[in-house]
Structure 1
Amino acid sequence: MIGFSSVAAFDAALASLPAPDRAARAAAAERQAQLTKPPGSLGRLEAIAIDLAGWQGRERPRIDRGRAVVFAGNHGVAARGVSAFPPEVTAQMVANFASGGAAINTLAAASGLELRVVPLDLDRPTADFTRGPAMDAAECLAALNAGAAVVEDGIDLLVLGEMGIGNSTAAAALCARSFGGSGAEWVGPGTGVDGDGLARKTAAVDAALARHAEAPRTPFETLRRVGGREIAAMAGAVVAARTARIAVVLDGFIGSAAIAPIAAAWPRIADHCIAGHVSAEPGHAKLLARLELDPLLALGMRLGEGSGAAVAAGVIRAALAAHDGMATFAEAGVAGG
């Protein structure tokens, strides 16, 4: 099992991110060129198949076992009135996931994904990051390892989601600290706050930026200072998946923000990631541009839970089915190959 025994071990994993298998990518591209269609006519589906061939190390990638994971955590900054819902909703939604009643339950099943829910100390919110670090070093490392723990042998695709009242405020703070800008440039309505709620969110992000202005801007320090347990867990899962060469489907603004501190230092962290969709949260499109990720879908979604990423997993399955199941020109006896 992949894990991080220390902050230094996490940093070392970032410094040794593996690259895709070039030979497998080339073989997949050659196969695409021989399939019974005009070159490039399946558009993005062709690129998805080639990319996953590189990460899986085989000409014909497949998803025998896809896993969706929802990490849940509570945030001290929620006490500042930054959400339209109270913090107890996090635990209530975790119970809803467990009983099969949430959107992610239905969407993961529709895309053939096993679903795992990982609650992280819901009875112990992170500290209010406008007053100090959200987590101490041990708490952040534990969250990173909780994320890494879901990356197991045999998984072909990892879909990441989250649940945590207040976490769109943390996501905005992560983006602003990683890529620059004020709270107003990254904050959005999240769960649907009104104008006063937006003002409180913006003020909280700006206060956090000021409070931590002199702190080191390493990925670990940014995650622990202005992130959250579920956000750090997603970051740990992304890094562990990269180490194992497993492709990851990111969800919306919060899921993408989890790797913003890493991308600021290691821009290629997103090479094994697919942006499942672009959410309605205003900062998400800007964040995806900074991550150099082109979203698969644009459905106006803003739920979280990994819902958009789960829908995108169905498109990814379609891409691999076409790549694997279509006949070549020679096999079909069609001229033009």
Structure 2
Amino acid sequence: MNYNTLDTSKTYLVTGAAGFIGYYLARTLLEQGCRVIGIDNVNDYYDVNLKHSRLELLKPYEKFTFIKGDISDKDTVITAFETYRPHVVVNLAAQAGVRYSIENPDAYIQSNIIGFHNILEACRHFPVDHLVYASSSSVYGANRKVPFEETDIVDNPVSLYAATKKSNELMAHTYSHLYKIPATGLRFFTVYGPLGRPDMAYFGFTQSYFSGKPIKIFNNGDFENDLYRDFTYIDDIVEGIERLLNNPPTDEEKAPHRVFNIGNSSPEKLMTFIETLERCLSLSLGTKVVFDKSFEPIKPGDVPATYASTDLLEKAIGFKPKTSIEEGLQRFANWYCEYYQMSFSK
């Protein structure tokens, strides 16, 4: 089977289209001639200028329709499905962030639980060929067994964000079982890249450097037992989603629902990641960059390691993320310096 071929006769609904992954996916679909309906509430969880920049880049595509709305508003969701009758739905709209969930739990229930329920109800009443939705590596909690496999027990989330993502998987399974909605959940592992999210560490470190502030590293300064993260470049995430879109679970299964890890399968120590980012910014700027570092205790809700087994994904679609952090962070550093008009020499 050719997993790279998209059915351009279908209509694709992407929620969270002004978000990081949503923007890149929508652009990829549009570049291949697909009709894309994007929904986003363009909230101010992080700098809305970035969200508007992403939407501006999607505007020139004739087959792109944007709806400014919140998936937690059922009328918005039902009207979009009724009007455009999407064949494939990719739910990427969510309140993101582990630490923010400790301070603002309401936002997570509203978007991640109520919002996702509205998407499921719409898929029930306006049947779709495939629902693909964002889960997260955070569902693994503080599991010590690595790499994380989809068959691992994930009943002990350590943040509300993780609990909402685990809930999404359970809700999707139930709707798939009851109403035969073909659904695929994707557990994303630390996605990064140009036009990314400022609340992510690599972006925040870069902002701190240019603001003349020390970067905060939440590992107690413990270099022997440093945090490990499975950093996954945005292009790899999008290719994985793209290959899955027209390959839904089969009807023969009891519930046409499955869950995949999508990560780089090559975890890096946080300090290695930081040193790589310093080198990449040095190349972008033409001058040596060294971060001023402040070491602090690990934050509530953070986990010591993330490490994806991607065997199931590779078996299903013949794809494995492959971009190295050197390559990915260099692209981010170049973009950041251009976007924010920092002194820059290629």
TM-score between the two structures when normalised by the length of structure 1: 0.33
Q: Compare relative contact order (CA 8 Å, sep 6+) and give the higher one, 1 or 2.
A: 1
TM-score between the two structures when normalised by the length of structure 2: 0.32
